[in-house]
Structure 1
Amino acid sequence: MKPLLYLCLTTALLLGLLRATRRPAAPADVAEQLLRRGILNAAGRAELQRRLRGGELRTEIRNPLTQVSTQWRDNSPAAVLAFCAEAFRQAFIYRTLPPELGPSDVYLGGEALALSDSLSAPARAQRQRVADLLRRFQGDTAAVMREMYRQLPAQYHLEDKIKAEDSVAEGGWTIFPPLASLPRQHWIADGRSTLGKTRTRTARDLHALGLLDDAALRQVLAGIRSGQLRTEADVCQRGSELMQLAATAGPRRAEQRRWLQQLQQAGLLTAAGVQQLSRTDIRHAELLPFEVLAHSPRARILDLRRLPPAPQQLYPVILAQLPALLPGFRPTDVQVEVRRRSMDETLWVDSVVLSFRADGRRYRTAFYQDLARKDGTDTPPLGAKVGYEFRRGVNQWLADQNSPLRLYLATTPDAQSVYGNERLGLVALTARQRPLWGEDGYFLTRESHDNGFSTPRIEALITEAEQLGLLSHLTAAEKAAGRAQVLGGEVTSYAELLRCFPHLLLVIDGESANPPRPYATLTQLLARSSRGGFRPTDIEDGFGDDYPRARTVPFAFRHGGRRYHAELEVKDDWLDDAFFDLIDQALRAPGSAGQFYECLSGEGLIFLTPTQHRHLQRTQPALFRGPEALAGDEEADLPF
Structure 2
Amino acid sequence: MAQNLTFEEAKKIAHELYEIELLSKKGEKQLLQELEKNCTKNKSDSIEKSFVLQQLVNMFQVDLMYRMGMDRDIPFDKNTRHNRQKSSSAIPTKEEIEEYEKLLKKMEEEFNKQEWHKIEPKIEDEDPQKSETKGFIVFPMVSRLKEHGFISEKRSVLGKTRTRTLNDLLKIGLIDSLVFEDVYKEFKNGNLSTEGYICSAALDTVEFYQKFENEKNKQIELINKLEKGNVISQSNKEKLINSYQKWELKKLYEFIFYCNNAKTFNLKEYSNDVEKAYKSIFEEMKEVIPKFYFQSFKIDLKIEKSSYGGLDTQNLIISFDVDSVHYTHSVLYDYLRADEKPDSTLKIAHNFHKIVNKFLSDQNSDTRLYFAEKTNNPNRDENEFGIILLTKEQRRLWKYKIESFYFSDVKLEEYYSDIEASFLSTEIHDNRFNTKNVEKIIAEYEEIGLFSHLSEAEIKEGKEKIKQNEISTYSDILMLFPKQIIFFDWESGNLENPYEELTQEFGEISRGKFVPTNIEDSFWNSIETRKKTCFYSFDFNGKTYKADLRIKSDWLAPHFMELIESAIKENNVDGKIYVCIDDIQAAGYIFLSKSQYEYLNKNQPELFPKYP
Give the TM-score normalised by the residue count of structure 1: 0.77
Structure 1 distance, partners of 2:124, 2:279, is 54
User: Among residues 580, 589, 593, which one is paired with 1:605 in the alignment?
Assistant: 589
Shift of 1:212: 3.2
Does the Cα contact within 8 Å between 1:311 and 1:338 map onto a contact in 2? no
- The residue aligned with 2:356 is 394
Shift of 1:300: 3.0
Query: Residue type of the partner of 1:522?
Result: L
Query: Residue type of the partner of 1:396?
Result: K
Q: SS at 1:212's partner residue?
A: coil
- The residue aligned with 1:579 is 560
1:455-474 to structure 2, matched below 5 A, reads 455-474=435-454
User: Among residues 314, 324, 328, which one is paired with 1:360 in the alignment?
Assistant: 324
- The residue aligned with 1:107 is none
Does the Cα contact within 8 Å between 1:491 and 1:497 map onto a contact in 2? yes
Query: Residue type of the partner of 1:610?
Result: K
- The residue aligned with 1:437 is 398
Shift of 1:100: 5.6
Query: Residue type of the partner of 2:187?
Result: I
Structure 1 distance, partners of 2:278, 2:240, is 31
Does the Cα contact within 8 Å between 1:93 and 1:183 map onto a contact in 2? no
Shift of 1:54: 5.2
- The residue aligned with 1:154 is 115
Shift of 1:275: 2.5
User: Among residues 341, 351, 369, which one is paired with 1:407 in the alignment?
Assistant: 369
Does the Cα contact within 8 Å between 2:222 and 2:398 map onto a contact in 1? no
Does the Cα contact within 8 Å between 2:500 and 2:520 map onto a contact in 1? yes
Q: SS at 2:393's partner residue?
A: coil
Q: SS at 2:600's partner residue?
A: helix
Does the Cα contact within 8 Å between 1:273 and 1:295 map onto a contact in 2? yes
Q: Decide whether aligned partners of structure 1 residues 508 and 48 sit closer, same or farther in structure 2, where only a CA change above 3 A counts.
A: same
Give the fraction of aligned pairs with identical amino acids, expressed as a percent: 27
* Structure 2 spans left out of the alignment, 5+ residues: 85-94, 400-416
Shift of 1:264: 0.8
Q: SS at 1:424's partner residue?
A: strand
Q: Are positions 1:329 and 2:292 aligned together?
A: yes
Work out the number of aligned pairs and report it.
572
Structure 2 distance, partners of 1:317, 1:74, is 59
Q: Are positions 1:426 and 2:396 aligned together?
A: no
Structure 1 distance, partners of 2:72, 2:37, is 36
Moved more, 311-320 or 518-527: 311-320
Q: SS at 1:581's partner residue?
A: helix
Moved more, 614-623 or 255-264: 255-264
User: Among residues 530, 543, 550, which one is paired with 2:523 in the alignment?
Assistant: 543
Give the TM-score normalised by the residue count of structure 2: 0.80
- The residue aligned with 2:82 is 131
Q: Decide whether aligned partners of structure 1 residues 248 and 611 sit closer, same or farther in structure 2, where only a CA change above 3 A counts.
A: closer
Does the Cα contact within 8 Å between 2:131 and 2:192 map onto a contact in 1? no
Q: Decide whether aligned partners of structure 1 residues 323 and 178 sit closer, same or farther in structure 2, where only a CA change above 3 A counts.
A: same
Structure 2 distance, partners of 1:309, 1:179, is 49
Shift of 1:346: 8.5
Q: SS at 1:354's partner residue?
A: strand
Structure 1 distance, partners of 2:269, 2:581, is 43
Q: Are positions 1:618 and 2:599 aligned together?
A: no
Q: Decide whether aligned partners of structure 1 residues 535 and 254 sit closer, same or farther in structure 2, where only a CA change above 3 A counts.
A: closer
Q: Decide whether aligned partners of structure 1 residues 55 and 327 sit closer, same or farther in structure 2, where only a CA change above 3 A counts.
A: same
Q: Decide whether aligned partners of structure 1 residues 472 and 568 sit closer, same or farther in structure 2, where only a CA change above 3 A counts.
A: same
Q: Decide whether aligned partners of structure 1 residues 58 and 339 sit closer, same or farther in structure 2, where only a CA change above 3 A counts.
A: farther
Does the Cα contact within 8 Å between 2:485 and 2:589 map onto a contact in 1? yes
- Please give the root-mean-square deviation of Cα atoms over the aligned residues, in Å: 4.0
Does the Cα contact within 8 Å between 2:21 and 2:152 map onto a contact in 1? yes
Q: SS at 1:25's partner residue?
A: strand
Q: Decide whether aligned partners of structure 1 residues 569 and 267 sit closer, same or farther in structure 2, where only a CA change above 3 A counts.
A: same
Moved more, 451-460 or 89-98: 89-98
* Structure 1 spans left out of the alignment, 5+ residues: 1-20, 60-70, 103-121, 628-640
Structure 1 distance, partners of 2:506, 2:597, is 17
Does the Cα contact within 8 Å between 2:533 and 2:548 map onto a contact in 1? yes
Q: Decide whether aligned partners of structure 1 residues 231 and 276 sit closer, same or farther in structure 2, where only a CA change above 3 A counts.
A: farther
Structure 2 distance, partners of 1:317, 1:142, is 63
Structure 2 distance, partners of 1:149, 1:348, is 47
Structure 2 distance, partners of 1:101, 1:384, is 50
Structure 2 distance, partners of 1:570, 1:91, is 41
Cα-to-partner distance string for 1:313-363 (whole Å, 9 max, x where unaligned): 553354344223222224433322223355588955322222233333222
Q: Decide whether aligned partners of structure 1 residues 294 and 451 sit closer, same or farther in structure 2, where only a CA change above 3 A counts.
A: same
Query: Residue type of the partner of 1:563?
Result: T
Query: Residue type of the partner of 1:465?
Result: Y
Structure 1 distance, partners of 2:194, 2:279, is 42
Structure 2 distance, partners of 1:384, 1:72, is 58
Moved more, 144-153 or 38-47: 144-153
Does the Cα contact within 8 Å between 1:552 and 1:567 map onto a contact in 2? yes
Structure 2 distance, partners of 1:422, 1:200, is 37
Structure 2 distance, partners of 1:141, 1:360, is 77
Q: SS at 1:512's partner residue?
A: coil
1:97-176 to structure 2, matched below 5 A, reads 97-99=69-71, 129-131=80-82, 137-140=98-101, 143=104, 147=108, 150-151=111-112, 153-156=114-117, 158-159=119-120, 163=125, 164-169=127-132
- The residue aligned with 1:558 is 539
Does the Cα contact within 8 Å between 2:157 and 2:194 map onto a contact in 1? yes
1:4-403 to structure 2, matched below 5 A, reads 23-25=3-5, 29-52=12-35, 55-56=38-39, 74-99=46-71, 129-131=80-82, 137-140=98-101, 143=104, 147=108, 150-151=111-112, 153-156=114-117, 158-159=119-120, 163=125, 164-169=127-132, 178-179=141-142, 181-196=144-159, 198-279=161-242, 284-303=247-266, 311-312=274-275, 314-341=277-304, 348-372=312-336, 385-403=347-365
User: Among residues 458, 466, 470, which one is paired with 1:490 in the alignment?
Assistant: 470
Q: Decide whether aligned partners of structure 1 residues 303 and 168 sit closer, same or farther in structure 2, where only a CA change above 3 A counts.
A: same
Does the Cα contact within 8 Å between 1:57 and 1:79 map onto a contact in 2? no
Shift of 1:274: 2.7
- The residue aligned with 2:403 is none
Structure 1 distance, partners of 2:245, 2:53, is 20
